[in-house]
């Protein structure tokens, strides 16, 4: 699982590092969060294609997935791009998919993010009603509050293979396998400019905090960090055996 990919520096680092990482660790499936890939906000068909060319199998997203209008019809036809499952009925796209005997689910948190359907109940409904559910289930929980992420991890312990948090762009050090076999981390982190404020230009972010005046932020520049986690799962049972961080830096 690759953390939130932010703008051009993130896409460049992913293209440069992911193919070798995938080969070195014998990775079966790569999931990456792409909701900040296009100029720091949202996803476009062109940037999505860069993900697939780099070796990503499934792109997850979050609250910014609707930012670029041209991606909306693509969500209906491209099953490899997910929007959050717990959106209201009638929203375009899909919240989960099954590939290589793995089900990947995208959920969106509610604390500090907005009014969405309950991610806990949405996941219950999916697990109880899906036909031919594979043993291996990975959840990208795109959420702000650490407590909400941890709570969902415990709620789904033993029912899914992994609950992996995204959204804050700050990788956490709480990787663990919960008692019933679910791998967990509060936040995978990001792939983007190392000298930045969660991927954005430092001076522009500081100016916004000082003045409270709204203005468009630019993606940071320079060397990039690559945050990800590697999850090992026993295929027949769907139980996680191990989760570890893979954090790299790419010099410009």
With beta carbons less than 8 A apart as the criterion, state whether 105 and 121 touch. Answer: no
pLDDT of 214: 84
Q: Beta strand pairing status for 183-185 and 31-33? A: unpaired
Tokens 């209906």 locate to 76
N-term to C-term CA, the chain: 23
Question: pLDDT class for 164, splitting at 50, 70, 90?
Answer: very high
pLDDT at 252 over 80: no
Q: How many other C-beta atoms can be found within 10 angstroms of the C-beta atom of residue 20? A: 11
pLDDT tens digits for range 44-99:
999 999 999 999 999 999 999 999 999 999 999 999 999 999 999 899 999 999 99
Instruction: Render pLDDT for 150-161 as a digit per residue (tens, 0 to 9).
Output: 999 999 999 999
Q: What integer pLDDT is reported at residue 100 of this predicted model?
A: 84
Q: What is the CATH number of the domain that holds 8?
A: 3.60.21.10
The pLDDT of residue 108 is above 80: yes
The domain total for the chain is 1
Domain range for 242? 4-250
Q: Is 67 a catalytic residue?
A: no
Residue 216's pLDDT is: 83
Q: What are the distances in angstroms from CA 98 to CA 1, 91, 213, 224?
A: 16, 20, 44, 31
Which candidate, 93, 91, 110, 99, places its Cα nearest to that of 52? Answer: 99
The pLDDT, as a whole number, for residue 215 is 82
Q: What angle do CA 66, 138, 22 make, to 5 degrees?
A: 90
Catalytic residue among 64, 68, 167, 169: 64
pLDDT at 163 over 90: yes
Q: Which of 101, 6, 107, 22 is nearest to 56 (CA)?
A: 22
Please name the residues in contact with 246: beta carbons below 8 A apart, sequence gap of 6 or more.
21, 25, 226, 228, 229, 230
**The pLDDT value given to residue 251:** 81
Instruction: State the pairing for strand pair 176-177/224-233.
Output: unpaired
Q: Please, are residues 31 and 191 in contact by the beta-carbon 8 Å criterion?
A: no
Per-residue pLDDT reduced to its tens digit, 174-217: 999 999 999 999 999 999 999 999 999 999 999 999 999 888 88
pLDDT in tens, 112-161: 988 899 999 999 999 999 998 999 999 999 999 999 999 999 999 999 99
Structure tokens at 237: 């049972």
């Amino acid at each position: 699982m690759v953390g939130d990919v932010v703008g051009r520096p993130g896409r460049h680092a992913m293209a440069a590092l992911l193919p070798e990482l995938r080969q070195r660790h014998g990775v079966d499936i790569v999931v990456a969060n792409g909701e900040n890939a296009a100029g720091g906000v949202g996803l476009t068909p062109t940037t999505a294609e860069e993900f697939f060319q780099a070796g990503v199998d499934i792109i997850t997203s979050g609250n910014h997935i609707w930012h670029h209008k041209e991606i909306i019809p693509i969500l209906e036809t491209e099953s490899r791009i997910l929007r959050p499952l717990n959106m209201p009925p009638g929203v375009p796209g899909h919240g989960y998919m099954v590939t290589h005997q793995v089900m990947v689910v995208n959920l969106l948190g509610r604390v500090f993010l907005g009014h969405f359907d309950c991610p806990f109940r949405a996941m219950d409904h999916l697990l109880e009603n899906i036909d031919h559910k594979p043993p291996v289930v990975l959840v990208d929980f795109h959420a702000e509050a650490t407590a909400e992420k941890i709570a969902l991890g415990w709620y789904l312990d033993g029912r899914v293979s992994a609950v992996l948090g995204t959204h804050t762009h700050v990788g956490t050090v709480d990787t663990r396998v919960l008692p019933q076999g679910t791998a967990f981390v509060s936040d995978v982190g990001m792939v983007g400019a190392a000298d930045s404020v969660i991927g954005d230009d430092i001076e522009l972010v500081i100016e916004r905090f000082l003045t409270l005046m709204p203005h468009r932020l630019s993606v940071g520049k320079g060397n990039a960090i690559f945050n990800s986690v590697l999850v090992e799962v026993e295929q027949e049972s769907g139980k996680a055996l191990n989760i570890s961080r893979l954090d790299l830096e790419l010099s410009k």
